[in-house]
Chains A and B, each alone.
Chain A
Amino acid sequence: MFEILEHTADIGFRARGRTMAELFAEAAMALSAIYAELDQIEARLEYPIEARGEDRESLLVNWLGEVLFWIDGRRVVFSRFRVDAISTHEVRGLAFGEPYDPTRHRAKLLVKAVTYHQLKVTETAEGWMAEVYLDV
């Protein structure tokens, strides 16, 4: 579950999950959804994604940075994520998607980077919540 947040020049999102694993998967979904329309993406291939960080915040930024590298560097689009293992310093999971095909997929907004601007990763009554801003 995620929603879009406003920023004067760029764009952000708020993601929620019952667990940290769910939160990280949802945040990756938000990034994918900001980049491209999700409905035409077939989750036919699995891409392993892992990241490390010195705390939860940098772990999330680095995890999303890995996803962004696949999107912008390898031209792959994703429609689903699964986190298999997560600690404060390390996360491992799978991204499901396929190579970008301009005849079927519609890119909406190229994302330059994941930022630390007003970054939040917090525990809530229902689980976990994160707010992330992207440079676009």
Chain B
Amino acid sequence: MPGKIPIESIDSLRHKIPRDEARGMRTHVIVYASERILAQIQNDLSLEQAANVAHLPGIVGPSLAMPDIHQGYGFPIGGVAAMDYHYGVVSPGGVGFDINCGVRLVRTNLCEADVRPGIKQLVDQVFRDVPCGTGGSGFVKINAKQLNQVLTHGARWMVENGYGDERDAEFAEAGGALEGADPACVSERAKQRGLPQLGTLGSGNHFLEIQYVEEVHDAAAAQAMRLSKGQVVVLIHSGSRGLGHQVCTDYLAEMGPAMKRYNITLPDRQLACVPISSPEGQSYLRAMAASANFAWANRQAILHFLRGAFRKVLGEQVHLELIYDVAHNIAKREKYEVDGIKRDLLVHRKGATRAFPPGHREIPAEYRPIGQPVFIPGSMGTASWVMVGAEGAMRETFGSVCHGAGRFMSRTAARKGRDARQVQKKLEEQGILVRSETRDGILEEVPEAYKNVDEVIEVVHNAGLARKVARLRPMGVIKG
């Protein structure tokens, strides 16, 4: 239960849960947190879950917890675990039900003053053109055969079929399509769930925010992303919708019994895993890649309809360009030097963002001098951050950082004593217009339900995992 996990501080930002061999831990846990955040995360099962991840066979280096960590299922949200690709396991729970949930940031050629006067009309138009999915299906009309193409080619298929600009796919992690995707590994029911949902945001914490650049902290990096103070940007947070959720559900059901065959026992059933090299493991990774591609296609479709909405309201001269798109629920095969040895690893990022440093060859050429762009959404009433990956992430966290502010209040607690209209009114007074398909969508995502995003960012910045570039303020929020 909360509080019983022993934790010792290494310095003011790094804390260690020692390896407990008697419990079955194969490694220790490193938690990145300030003193205040550490106290907050001890209120739920996050640390126990981070310690459970240390039980997974083939784990290399420590089980890692980012400062936005909160309780998830099996894996904590805000957790990173690297497995030896040849001897380790893959865990669908280490990726999550929302495979390739992620964020993309879009810059506009508008400034705050261009948008503020007509914000209501703009938000209403975006709300109509980018459905959340509770009230109906998306506006992308494709058949089952085309869906297989989407699963194989991701954002690239969308761009080639009229849902975007040529450069869009290039400015996404993995070029908007993971290799090795196989639609045959995705069940028919996952495809049925996904097909009508392409181009929809989803509910829960998913959103689309019209924001402006409030402060620039790193002029060179901001310039490389062509961002300046006062400029309007749009942050899109969505994932693989019902398709990815069903893929995770299907493979968890398969892996439960399969674990017995591979003699794997774990403290939490939700951590179900199989060897990466096993037929089940390989099949999951192909299905996961297909789902990740669906998510990139989904965020691309959303961008396409967003462009239409901006042009309808603000005129044809409005340009929206993708800055970058990052996944924060994914497992990727990457190579890292660990204790002087180059290792072939499968890095599970469950609510964690890849953050490659300057010079890394997997970053688009125009960002190579500054490092990979990383976007950290805060809660709807506060702020979001643009960062760039730094060397520390390669040394300490398998090229990973946090993914958000991290909740610390439950959904039921957030609803208690609050009225959706009042919350909406209060945010409007702060210059933030909110539209949601559901009343609960507003109440459960109130700013107070989250940790302070600035504090989370400070930890990551000071630990040298990523650098602060710009702080973004919301003006219009679309929620599920």
Once A62-B253, A108-B440 are accepted as A-B contacts, the answer to whether A113 and B410 lie under 8 Å apart by CB is no
Decide if A135 touches B97 in the complex (CB within 8 Å). Answer: yes
Once A58-B256, A107-B437 are accepted as A-B contacts, the answer to whether A9 and B72 lie under 8 Å apart by CB is yes
Contact check: which of B77, B189, B204, B269 meets A116 at CB < 8 Å? B269
User: Is A124 positioned at the interface, with any CB of B under 8 Å from its CB?
Assistant: no
Once A11-B411, A102-B136, A110-B203 are accepted as A-B contacts, the answer to whether A116 and B246 lie under 8 Å apart by CB is no
Decide if A117 touches B438 in the complex (CB within 8 Å). Answer: no
Decide if A69 touches B252 in the complex (CB within 8 Å). Answer: no
A61 neighbours in B (Cβ, 8 Å): 253
User: Is B357 positioned at the interface, with any CB of A under 8 Å from its CB?
Assistant: no
Contact check: which of A6, A9, A107 meets B135 at CB < 8 Å? A107
User: Is B311 positioned at the interface, with any CB of A under 8 Å from its CB?
Assistant: no
Give how many A-B residue pairs fall within 8 Å (CB-CB): 108
Decide if A113 touches B70 in the complex (CB within 8 Å). Answer: no
Main secondary structure, interface of B, reads mixed
Decide if A116 touches B440 in the complex (CB within 8 Å). Answer: no
Question: Chain A 50-75 against B: per-residue CB contact (8 Å), 1 yes, 0 no?
Answer: 00001001100110010001001111
User: Is B61 positioned at the interface, with any CB of A under 8 Å from its CB?
Assistant: no
Decide if A107 touches B134 in the complex (CB within 8 Å). Answer: yes
Decide if A73 touches B193 in the complex (CB within 8 Å). Answer: yes
Decide if A54 touches B413 in the complex (CB within 8 Å). Answer: no
Contact check: which of B44, B72, B189, B438 meets A109 at CB < 8 Å? B438
Closest chain A residue to B252 by CB distance?
A: A116
Decide if B412 touches A11 in the complex (CB within 8 Å). Answer: yes
A11 and B439 alpha carbons, distance in the complex (Å): 16
A21 and B407 alpha carbons, distance in the complex (Å): 36
A116 neighbours in B (Cβ, 8 Å): 73-74, 252, 268-270, 272
Decide if A108 touches B438 in the complex (CB within 8 Å). Answer: yes
Interface size counted on chain A using CB atoms at 8 A: 34
| CB of B294 to closest CB in A, whole Å | 14
A10 neighbours in B (Cβ, 8 Å): 73, 411
Decide if B412 touches A110 in the complex (CB within 8 Å). Answer: no
Decide if A72 touches B440 in the complex (CB within 8 Å). Answer: no
Top 7 nearest A-B pairs (CB, nearest first) are A107-B134, A6-B410, A73-B193, A117-B73, A116-B269, A110-B203, A113-B97
Q: Which residues of A contact B (CB under 8 A)?
A: 4, 6-11, 54, 57-58, 61-62, 65, 69, 72-75, 102, 106-110, 112-117, 119, 133, 135-136
- 28 contacts across the A-B interface (CB closer than 8 A): A6-B410, A6-B411, A6-B412, A8-B71, A8-B407, A9-B72, A9-B77, A54-B256, A57-B269, A58-B253, A61-B253, A65-B249, A69-B193, A72-B242, A73-B193, A102-B136, A107-B438, A108-B438, A109-B438, A109-B444, A110-B480, A112-B98, A116-B252, A116-B268, A117-B72, A117-B74, A133-B73, A135-B97
